[in-house]
Each structure stands twice: as structure tokens, then as C-alpha cells.
Amino acid sequence: MNSSTNQVYPVIWHNNSVSLIDQTRLPNEYAFVEIHRCSDMAQAIKTMIVRGAPAIGVAAAYGMYLGAREIETSDRNQFLNQLDKVAQLLRTTRPTAVNLFWAISRMLKTAYETFGTVEDIKQTLLNTARSINAEDLQTCYAIGDNGLKVLPQTPEKLTILTHCNAGALATAGYGTALGVVRSAFREGRLARVFADETRPRLQGAKLTAWECVQEGIPVTLITDSMAAHCMKEGLIDIVVVGADRIAANGDTANKIGTYSLALVAKAHNIPFYVAAPLSTVDFSLSHGNEIPIEERNPEEIYQIGDTIITPTGAEFYNPAFDVTPAQLITGIITENGVFAPGELTKSRIKQFA
Ligand code: MRU
């Protein structure tokens, strides 16, 4: 954390290695893990020391460089061959967030398109990883500011509901959905943020609440089952969530529970926005049912901390993400502007214009 601004940066290139905030230890402990090797980065992504789609992308980019650095040959073809294996290792860490695959592809493309010595390629890979990191931060600022354009005009100070953690911890810094919250707070448009995802991983309780408290953003934690009630009571003006992968038609995978939030928001006529960088859009998938959904260890369900809360004999199902159909999404807030889900292809044209 930058002590003068309280700004949180979960992935930092520092002293020839990567410092990761250990997100599994928050909010009780604010500690860093130093990553020197690609296999350790892969493990850190798998175990969710670093998590959140854009942050995973940034971490994987550095992982590619660390892997490249470990390759000993000076022969270009052998080097590229071994780099493909590094990419393969990183691809197996988590299946849903497309930013992981996007960042790995960008790093591989950089390597294949760089000529000169193997040492030149390695240096270019480090530069590219650092660019991906810096660009994601700028992207989050732009998403936050574009989000201001869709905030309801009334009331003057809004209550925004967000799910899981799409904050600074989930990105290079500032956040996507929480970036919109931060920008609204800065502009005097925020009354408070309601945060949920209190099961299975408690990311709203542990991470979003922590981020808000650090910056003095008023935050009310609710359990996931309370969202419909809060909407009915008129406590929520707008819902803004992040995304792990958006199909070309706008169907959006995000942390489990997002789909039910979208349904109840629709039932109460409350705008429901997804905030995400364009790197989260997977144009190779036409519909959300093609998005691979990670299934995590059932201990996230039968256990809280070290305490087992269910009888033996029960069975478990623990999908980590769900897919919200495009028709439930009011708009997608990106760094290039806000798009109706069906208009995403226009965002692509604008991206490459
Ligand atoms: O399982 P996680 O904690 O990696 O899931 C994170 C989310 O679902 C976030 O909402 C998503 O990655 C968007 S992050 C800006």
C-alpha cells in the first residue's frame, strides 16, 4: 500500500522479483509474498494469493517473464519451445478468468515477434509485463470515470451494491466495479457501498470491506441472501459488478451469486452494470454457456476457517462462477466507454481503430 494515498497495488515488480499481497491473509494480516520463480507464481494464482481477473493477468505476465528468465539456452528456437511450456504451466492455474489467457498470449506473441538474442527477448518480455501492469491501472481509472456517466441522476448520493471483490486487489490497482465506486466517492456521488459475497469465499467480507475501510469509503456488509430484501426496502440505487469473462454476446461470468443479483435487480427495476476491461471480453466465444466454469474444493462449503459446519454424509457442489445472461445486464462499462451487451463488437472496432 502506498502510505501517502492508501492506494493498494496487489502485484509489484520490485528488486528483480514480484511482490504479491497475500490476499488469503487479509483482512487480519497485510503481508507480501516474494515470487522469484514461475512455478511459485503458478502456485500463487492457483491458491488465490493473487486473484481477481485483471490481477491474475498481470501476475501471469510476470510469471511468463520469470519462466523465461529460468531458461538457460541461448538458441532462439529452443528458448521459444521452452517458453511454450512455461505458458502451458500458467494456463493450467485457473480456467475462468480470460485475462490470464489474454496476458499469456500477449507475452508469447511478444517473444515470437522479437528478434535479436535470447537476452533481448527476455528483456522485452519484462518490459511487456510491466506495460501490462501499468496499462491495467490506467484502464481501471478510465473504467471508474466512464462509470460516472451511467450513475442515476437521483438521489444525489447513491448506494451502490457490489459483489465479491472487483477492487484494487483484483486489478493492478483502483479496481473495476470498485473503481466506479471510488470515482463516485471522489465526485461526492456516493452515500455508501453495500458489499456481499459472504459465501463461499467471503471475498466481499474480507477484501471489499477491507479496501473500503482503508480509504474511508462508507461500506455496509450484507450476506448474499439479503440482497433482494435490501432492494425491496429501497436501499440500493444501482448494482455494479466485475467480470471474469464476457462472451461476444455480452453474457458475463463473474463470482458465483452474480446471476441471482442480476435477477433480483431486474425484478426491482434497478440498473445492473458490469465493469471490466476489454481484455475480459472473449470474442472467440459467442455465448456464455461456452465459458469454462471453475469448480473449487468443497471445503469452501463445508468449512468456515478451521471449523467444519456440516454433518458427514452430505455431498457438495462448489462452482466458483456463474454466467449472467446479457439481457439482464444494463450496460458494460469499459475503458473505451459504456456499451449495451449486444454492442460489444463495436468496442472491439474502437479498440483497434
Ligand atoms: O475467485 P476470484 O476471487 O478470483 O473471483 C473474482 C471475481 O469474481 C471478480 O469479481 C472478478 O474477477 C472481477 S475482478 C475485477
Q: Give the position of cell 463473474.
A: 254
> Residue 224: how many CA atoms within 13 Å on its side-chain side?
18
Indicate the range of 35-39, 143-147, 199-203, 323-327 predicted with least confidence. Answer: 199-203
> Higher-confidence residue: 304 or 96?
96
Give me the mean pLDDT over the 65-72 stretch.
Answer: 98
Closest-CA residue, ligand 1 atom 15, reads: 166
- Which residue of 49, 140, 161, 165 sits with most ligand 1 atoms within 8 Å of its CB, as the best mutation to test the pocket? 165
Phi, psi of 240 (to 5 degrees): -130, 125
Tell whether 234 is in a known binding site. Answer: no
Atom of ligand 1 nearest to the CA of 243: 13
pLDDT at 347: 67
pLDDT at 353: 47
Tell whether 51 is in a known binding site. Answer: yes
- Mean predicted lDDT score pLDDT of the chain: 95
> Residue 14: how many CA atoms within 13 Å on its side-chain side?
12
Atom of ligand 1 nearest to the CA of 175: 15
Q: Please give the Cα distance from 136 to 35 (Å, whole number).
A: 20
pLDDT at 305: 84
- Which residue of 140, 181, 255 sits with most ligand 1 atoms within 8 Å of its CB, as the best mutation to test the pocket? 255
Tell whether 203 is in a known binding site. Answer: yes
Q: Please give the Cα distance from 157 to 273 (Å, whole number).
A: 18
Q: Residue 2 — very low, low, confident or very high, per pLDDT cuts 50/70/90?
A: low
Give 341 Cα–ligand 1 centroid separation in angstroms. Answer: 19
Q: Is the ipTM of this complex over 0.95?
A: yes
pLDDT in tens, 265-280: 999 999 999 999 999 9
pLDDT at 342: 86
Give 113 Cα–ligand 1 centroid separation in angstroms. Answer: 31
Q: Quick one: cell of 341?
A: 451487451
Atom of ligand 1 nearest to the CA of 255: 8
Q: Give the position of cell 462452482.
A: 319
Ligand 1 site residues (CB inside 6 A) read 51-54, 97, 164, 166, 170-171, 176, 203, 242-244, 254-255, 320
Give me the mean pLDDT over the 320-344 stretch.
Answer: 96
User: pTM for the whole thing?
Assistant: 0.95
pLDDT in tens, 111-137: 999 999 999 999 999 999 999 999 999
Task: Return the bridge partners of 19, or none.
Answer: 12, 34
Q: Residue 349 — very low, low, confident or very high, per pLDDT cuts 50/70/90?
A: low
For CA atoms 207, 26, 100, 277, give the dihedral sign: positive
- Which residue of 58, 203, 246, 291 sits with most ligand 1 atoms within 8 Å of its CB, as the best mutation to test the pocket? 203
Tell whether 52 is in a known binding site. Answer: yes
Give 63 Cα–ligand 1 centroid separation in angstroms. Answer: 19
pLDDT in tens, 100-112: 999 999 999 999 9
Give 77 Cα–ligand 1 centroid separation in angstroms. Answer: 36
Give 162 Cα–ligand 1 centroid separation in angstroms. Answer: 12
Q: Residue 152 — very low, low, confident or very high, per pLDDT cuts 50/70/90?
A: very high
Q: Please give the Cα distance from 241 to 227 (Å, whole number).
A: 14
Reduced 3-state DSSP string for the chain: CECCCCECCCEEEECCEEEEECCCCCCCCCCEEEECCHHHHHHHHHCCCCCCHHHHHHHHHHHHHHHHHHCCCCCHHHHHHHHHHHHHHHHCCCCCCHHHHHHHHHHHHHHHHCCCCHHHHHHHHHHHHHHHHHHHHHHHHHHHHHHHCCCCCCCCCEEEEEECCCCHHHCCCCCCHHHHHHHHHHCCCEEEEEEECCCCCCHHHHHHHHHHHHHCCCEEECCHHHHHHHHHCCCCCEEEECCCEEECCCCEEEECCHHHHHHHHHHCCCCEEEECCHHHEECCCCCHHHCCCCECCCHHHHEECCEECCCCCCCCCCECEEEECHHHCCEEEECCEEECHHHHHHHHHHHCC
Please give the positions annotated as active site.
Answer: 244
Give me the mean pLDDT over the 43-60 stretch.
Answer: 98
Atom of ligand 1 nearest to the CA of 254: 8
Give 87 Cα–ligand 1 centroid separation in angstroms. Answer: 22
pLDDT at 7: 86
Q: Residue 198 — very low, low, confident or very high, per pLDDT cuts 50/70/90?
A: very high
Atom of ligand 1 nearest to the CA of 97: 12
Closest-CA residue, ligand 1 atom 6, reads: 52
